[in-house]
A and B are shown apart, each in its own frame.
Chain A
Amino acid sequence: MVTPLRIPWAAVAGAALALMPAALPAQVKPGDPFPVLDPSVLTGGTLPVTSGKVAFIDFWASWCAPCKASFPAYSQLNAAYAGRGLVIVAVSVDDSPAAFRAFVAKMQPTFATVEDAQHKLVGAVQVPTMPSCYLVDRTGRVRFMHAGFHGGQTEGELRGEIEKLLAEGAPSP
Chain B
Amino acid sequence: MSGRKFALSGALVLAAILVAGCSTASAVRVRPWERAALADPAMNPDRDPLADAMGDHVNFSREAANGGKGVGGSGCGCN
Task: Give the distance to chain B from A162, nearest Cβ to Cβ, in Å.
Answer: 24
Query: A21 near B: Cβ within 8 Å?
Result: yes
Q: Is the CB of B20 within 8 A of A16?
A: yes
Interface string of B19-31 (1 = CB under 8 A from A): 1110110110001
Bound-state CA distance A17–B31 (Å) is: 23
Shortest Cβ distance from A12 into B: residue: B16
Determine the distance from Cα of A129 to Cα of B32 in the docked complex, in whole angstroms: 5
- State whether B26 touches A21 (Cβ < 8 A): yes
Majority-rule SS of A interface residues: loop
Q: Are B5 and A5 in contact (CB under 8 A)?
A: yes
- Complex Cα distance, B31 from A96, in Å, reads 17
How far, in whole Å, are A5 and B35 apart by their CA atoms in the complex? 47
Interface range on chain B: under 10, 10 to 19, 20 to 34, or 35 or more? 20 to 34
Please give, as numbers and ranges, the residues of chain A lying within 8 Å of B40 by CB-CB distance.
63
**Quick check: B33 and A16 within 8 Å, CB to CB?**
no
Question: Is A73 in contact with chain B by the CB < 8 A criterion?
Answer: no
Quick check: is A64 within 8 A (CB to CB) of the other chain? yes
Complex Cα spacing A20 to B20, Å: 5
Interfacial chain B residues near A123, Cβ < 8 Å: 33
Kindly state the separation between the CA atoms of A123 and B34 in the bound complex, as whole angstroms: 10
Q: How far is the CA of A117 from the CA of B4 in the complex (A)?
A: 51
A93 to B35 Cα, complex, angstroms: 10
Residues of B with C-beta under 8 A to A20: 20-21, 23-24
Q: How far is the CA of A23 from the CA of B35 in the complex (A)?
A: 20
- Name the distance in Å between A63's Cβ and chain B's nearest Cβ: 4
Specify which of B13, B24, B32, B34 is in contact with A12 (CB 8 Å cutoff): B13
Taking A5-B8, A8-B9, A63-B39 as contacts, is the C-beta distance between A15 and B17 under 8 angstroms? yes
Per-residue contact bits, chain A 119-160, to B (CB 8 Å; 1 contact, 0 not) = 100110011111010000000000000000000000000000
Partner-A contacts on B (CB < 8 A): 1, 5, 8-9, 12-13, 16-17, 19-21, 23-24, 26-27, 31-36, 39-40
Which residues of A pack against B, CB within 8 Å? Answer: 5-8, 11-13, 15-17, 19-21, 23-24, 59, 61, 63-64, 93-95, 119, 122-123, 126-130, 132
Q: A20-B20, A93-B33 are in contact. List 7 more A-B contacts (CB 8 A).
A: A12-B16, A15-B20, A19-B20, A122-B33, A127-B32, A128-B32, A130-B35
